[in-house]
Amino acid sequence: MPPFPQSAMDGYALGTGSKTTGAEFKLIGEVAAGSSVQHDLNAGECVRIFTGAAVPESATAVVQQEWIEQADDGVILQREVVEMMHVRPKGEQMKTGQLALEKGTLITPGTIGFLHMLGITSMNVYAKPKTTILITGNELVEPGNELNHGKIYESNSQMLISALLREGTDSKSHRISDSLEETIETIGNALETNDLIIITGGISVGDHDHVGAALSELGVKQVFYKVAQKPGKPLFFGTKDGKAIFALPGNPAASLTCFYEYVLPVLRKLYGRKDVWLPSFQLPLAEQNSIRSLGRAQFLKATIQNGSVEILEGQSSAMLNTFALANSLVYVEANCEPKSDGNLVEVHLLPY
C-alpha cells in the first residue's frame, strides 16, 4: 500500500530528460485519481496528474502545478525538480507480507481507518469482560424519589456505568439491602455470570457492612484489603475462578478514585490492552497551591491548565462536586516533603 506509485500533488508527471529551470515538457494526456488509463512517457513528455492518481511507470517525478508555466503544447519548469519528487512509491506504507498490527494493539479510529485502507473489514479482538455493579446501603434513594430525613440520593451506579462505558464496556447495576443473606445471594449470582464484579459500600467494619463476610462465605480469595491511602482506605480486591472482585468504598469520590487507580487497569488487562495505567507525568503546582504531608498516600482531584496543575477545593471522600471539574489526580506519597507552587508533582490524567 499504495498498490501503485501514487502522486502526492496536483501537478504534472514528468518523463525522463532535464528537469532544471526552463526545461520544457510536452503534455500528452491526463491521469485523474481512480483512473486506470496508463501512459508511456518518452523523454520530454508529461501528463497532467492529480493527488492520489497512479503515476505512470515511465515517469521520474511529479512537479506541483505552482512550479510550472503553461506553454503552447505543454509546460515549462520554473524551478529545478529532483528525481521521484512527490511520488509515493509502491509499498511505501505497507509491503506484502509485512506485519500490519501487532497482537494487543488498541483499536482506535486511526486503527480502523488503517485496516480499511488495507481492505480489512473484520478481525479477531478480545471480548470485553462481562461486568456488573452492586450497590449497598439502605440509606440510598433513587434520584427522582422523595428524599426523606436520613436518606441520600444514590450516585455510584450511574457514575461507574458511565466510566465503564467510556472503556467500551456495558454494565448493569443492582441494589443490595443491608442483610448478610441478600448480600451473599446477590454476589453469588453475579459471580456466576460476570468476569468483573464491582461492589460499592458495605466493605468497612460497621454492624451493617456485610460485604466482607459475604465474600468470605462465597470463597473469594482476598488479594488485599485496606490500603494506606486517602481517599479509599477500605478497598478490597479478590479473585475466584479467574474472576476479579473489587469492593470499593461507598463514599462517591473515594469510589471513583479507586475505580480509576485500581479497577480500570484490571479491566484493561482483561480485554488485552497493554497500556493499562492512567498516563502519568510530572507538572509544577499552580500558584498559591500547596500540599501537606500525611502518614498515608493521597490522591487529590485537580485540573491541568497552562502547563501547571491546580489542586481543587473539596477533597472529602464524599464530595463529587470537584470530580465534576477535575481532569486529573495528583498522587502524593506518604510522608513526603511539603510542596508549594512551582514544585513538581506526579499527575495522573483522567480518561475524559
The domains of the chain are located at 6-88, 99-127, 131-270, 280-349
- For the segment 143-151, the average pLDDT, to the nearest whole number, is 89
Bridge pairing between strands 131-136 and 171-176: parallel
Cβ 215 vs Cβ 187: under 8 Å = yes
Give yes or no for residue 223 having a pLDDT over 90. yes
* 57 vs 15: CA distance, rounded Å: 9
User: In the structure grid, which three cell numbers stand for residue 316, read together?
Assistant: 472529602
At residue 231, the 3 state secondary structure works out as: coil
Please check whether residue 191 is in contact with residue 246, taking contact to mean a CB–CB distance below 8 angstroms: no
The CATH architecture that domain 6-88 belongs to is Beta Complex (2.170)
pLDDT > 80? residue 208 = no
Question: Could you give phi then psi for residue 133, rounded to 5 degrees?
Answer: -120, 125
Q: How many whole angstroms separate alpha carbon 190 and alpha carbon 294?
A: 38
Distances (CA, A) of 155 to 44, 166, 177: 75, 17, 16
Instruction: Tell me, yes or no, if the pTM score tops 0.85.
Output: no
Q: What is the CATH number of domain 131-270?
A: 3.40.980.10
pLDDT over threshold 90, residue 67: yes
Question: In this predicted structure, what is the pLDDT of residue 187?
Answer: 96
Q: Which CATH number fits domain 280-349: 2.40.340.10, 3.40.50.1220, 2.60.40.790, 1.20.1440.230?
A: 2.40.340.10
8 A C-beta contact, residue 330 and residue 281: no
Helices marked H in 194-283: 211-217, 252-258, 264-270
Specify the pLDDT at position 300: 96
Q: Which residues contact 297 (CB under 8 A, 6 or more apart)?
A: 228, 229, 230, 331, 332, 333, 334
- pLDDT at residue number 276: 95
Mean pLDDT of the chain: 94
Helix/strand/coil for 257? helix
- Across residues 56-63, what is the average pLDDT? 96
Q: Is 331 exposed, middle or buried (0-12, 13-18, 19+ CB in 10 A)?
A: middle
State residue 141's pLDDT score: 86
Q: How much of the chain exceeds pLDDT 70, in percent?
A: 100
- Distance between CA atoms of 329 and 232, rounded to whole angstroms? 14
For residues 131 and 173, what is the distance between their CA atoms, to the nearest angstrom? 9
Q: Has residue 166 got a pLDDT over 80?
A: yes
Cell of 292: 501537606
**Structure confidence at residue 330 as a pLDDT band (50, 70, 90):** very high
Entry field: residues in the chain: 352
More confidently predicted of 308 and 288:
308
User: Following DSSP, what letter does each residue of 44-64 receive, concatenated?
Assistant: TEEEEE-TTPBPPTT--EEEE
Q: What is the pLDDT of residues 173-204, one digit of tens each?
A: 999 988 999 999 999 999 999 999 999 998 87
Distant-in-sequence, close-in-space partners of 9: CB < 8 Å, separation ≥ 6: 49, 51, 62, 63, 64, 65, 86
Residue 92's pLDDT is 94
Short-list 152, 216, 156, 153, CA closest to 184: 216
| Residue position matching grid coordinates 488485599 | 224
What pLDDT score was predicted for residue 31? Answer: 96
Residue 152 binned pLDDT confidence (cut-offs 50, 70, 90)? confident
Q: Is the confidence at residue 277, as pLDDT, over 80?
A: yes
Model confidence at 97, in pLDDT bands (50, 70, 90)?
A: very high
Q: Do domains 131-270 and 280-349 have the same CATH topology?
A: no
Number of Cβ within a 10 Å radius of residue 22: 11
Quick check: 205 pLDDT over 80? no
CA dist 134 to 154, 191, 245, 314, Å? 12, 11, 11, 27
Residue 318 grid cell: 464524599
